[in-house]
Amino acid sequence: MDIKQLIEQNESELRRGLIVLSTLALLKKPHYGYALIQTLEEKGVPIEGNTLYPLLRRLEKKGLLESKWETEASKPRKYYQITDSGITVLEALIQTWNHSTLSLEKIIGGYKNE
Amino acid sequence: MNEKLKYVYIQEVIKYLPSKQKEDIRNELETIIDDQLENEHMSLEDVLIELGNPKDLAYRYLEESPYLIGPKYKDNYLNTIKLIIPINIFIITVLNLVTWILANEFSFVELLDSIFYIAVISFTYITIAFMIAEKVNKKTDNTDAWHPDKMDLEKYDQIPYKQSSIWAGLIIFTIFILLFNIFPEIIGVHSLSTNEHITFFDMENYTKHLIWIDIAYGILLIRLFIRFFLNKKDKISIILSVTLHFVASFILIFVFLTPALLNPSLTLEFANMNFPDFVNFSFIYNIFRLISFIIVLVFVVESYKEISERYKIKKH
């Protein structure tokens, strides 16, 4: 495997860790699947549909999201939104993220100064 | 063409999913694909390539690791177990009771033993068959370099084999395999007044012929399982089905037309039981000739039906 592939692979691993946090955070407002992909991409967290759609279903199964089919528009769409349990998990993840960011800044700062 | 491609793709995803999830995920995938087509001005092929191999997508929805018997076969497996084991228990109980009436020997312990034996054997073979089907299913689904072109668009147009005919086949198969293997002496004539029984088969040499009967039934069972698991009438399935049916029929006819299969003392035993003169060895042999003719007829009619249905689908 060459360096470029290794970088891509590890970037993907890094992003994977952010996806749940990003998704839960954005779903404070209801979104349907495709719109969520667009929003994540605009915010700099690109994700493929075949990763996001199953993830949404899994988070729903775990009680972190709830879904509802909206049939009033021209096309029926399934909207997802965060639940109270999801908010609890999100807030815990945000805390973990903040701690990790501080730690990483120290590590990366240390790396740069060496 | 696009609608068909979309439909087949979604079917290929949801076939791996539990029945409770199929409808919801089907509706969701339709919406997702339509949204991408509208907003990104991509071709349907490109949208499907982005979504990826249907099996991979299905397994992402499933989240859990691959199964011994997966969602695709789970419902059929449970239905088969629920149907076949009770039926087998019923058949073995009836056959034991008939033997009791004929031989005037009844053992409750033996009855329980044979019920337990048939239940365990049925469960084992059914489970093994479905495990093999699951493994074959995993191997034949190639996940390398998937492209929408690789999907069989005609697959969902094909008329599947009727489930009822498969169940009926399994039940008839079970009856005959138990009868010929465990209670062959029942096949004969019994006089209730004198409590005498004449067995049609020559029991001393019966096992020689039984091997061939079991081989024929084994081939018919393979044919049944191919119909059950492939469940489609494409060219290969039909050729396989007709060929297996032909081979099994040929073996059974060969066995039934062997005079040595029959009890050589039939004529004498019938005479001792005061049957009319025409009821003798030749008479019983002619009955088996008639059975062989029926086997040929069934083969011809079933093969004609299978081939003509395939031809109708092709024409359509």
* Cβ–Cβ pairs < 8 A, chains A and B: 45
Residue numbers in A near B16 (CB within 8 A): none
Q: Is the CB of B27 less than 8 angstroms away from the CB of A75?
A: no
User: Which contacts of B156-161 are long-range, i.e. CB under 8 A and separated by 24 or more positions?
Assistant: B156/B7, B156/B8, B156/B11, B157/B313, B157/B316, B158/B232, B158/B233, B158/B234, B158/B313, B159/B233, B159/B309, B159/B313, B160/B231, B160/B232, B160/B233, B161/B227, B161/B228, B161/B231, B161/B232, B161/B233
From CA B113, how far away is CA B115, in angstroms rounded? Answer: 5
- A:17-76 residues touching chain B, CB 8 A cutoff: 32-34, 38, 48-51, 53-54, 57-58, 69, 75-76
- ipTM of the predicted structure? 0.84
Q: What is the pLDDT of residue A114?
A: 65
Q: Is the CB of A54 less than 8 angstroms away from the CB of B39?
A: no
Which member of A38, A54, A75 has the closest CB to residue B34? A75
- CA torsion B296-B297-B303-B308 (nearest 10°) is 150
Residue numbers in B near A50 (CB within 8 A): 50-52, 56-57, 60
Q: What are the pLDDT digits (tens) for B74-129?
A: 888 998 899 889 988 988 888 888 888 777 777 888 889 889 988 998 899 889 98
Amino acid at B6: K
Cross-strand bridge partners of residue A77: A70
Q: What are the pLDDT digits (tens) for A16-66?
A: 778 999 999 999 999 999 999 999 999 988 888 999 999 999 999 999 999
Q: What is the pLDDT of residue B58?
A: 92
Residue numbers in A near B34 (CB within 8 A): 75
Q: Is B143 on the interface with A (CB under 8 A)?
A: no
From CA A107, how far away is CA A50, in angstroms rounded? Answer: 34
Residue A25 makes CB contacts below 8 A (sequence gap 6+) with A90, A94
- CA torsion B115-B118-B124-B128 (nearest 10°) is -150
Q: Which residues of B125-161 are buried (b: 16+ CB within 10 A; e: fewer)?
A: ebeebbeebbeebeeeeeeeebebeebeeeeeebeeb
Residue numbers in A near B32 (CB within 8 A): 33-34, 49, 53
The model's pTM is 0.60
Token couple for B76 = 């059929």
**Number of Cβ atoms within 10 Å of the Cβ of B32:** 24
Q: What is the pLDDT of residue A37?
A: 93
Q: What is the pLDDT of residue B143?
A: 55
Q: Is B154 on the interface with A (CB under 8 A)?
A: no
Residue numbers in B near A58 (CB within 8 A): 63
Q: Is the CB of A50 less than 8 angstroms away from the CB of B51?
A: yes
Q: Which residues of chain B have pLDDT under 50?
A: none
Q: What is the pLDDT of residue B313?
A: 55
Measured between alpha carbons, how far is residue B52 from residues A41, B16, B202 in Å?
Answer: 19, 15, 63
Q: How many residues does chain B have?
A: 316
Q: How does the average pLDDT of chain A come out, rounded?
A: 89
Q: What is the pLDDT of residue B133?
A: 84
**Segment A87-92 mean pLDDT:** 95
CA angle at B51 for the pair B48 and B53, rounded to the nearest 5°: 85
Residue numbers in A near B50 (CB within 8 A): 48-50
Measured between alpha carbons, how far is residue A69 from residues A33, B31, B51 in Å?
Answer: 12, 11, 22
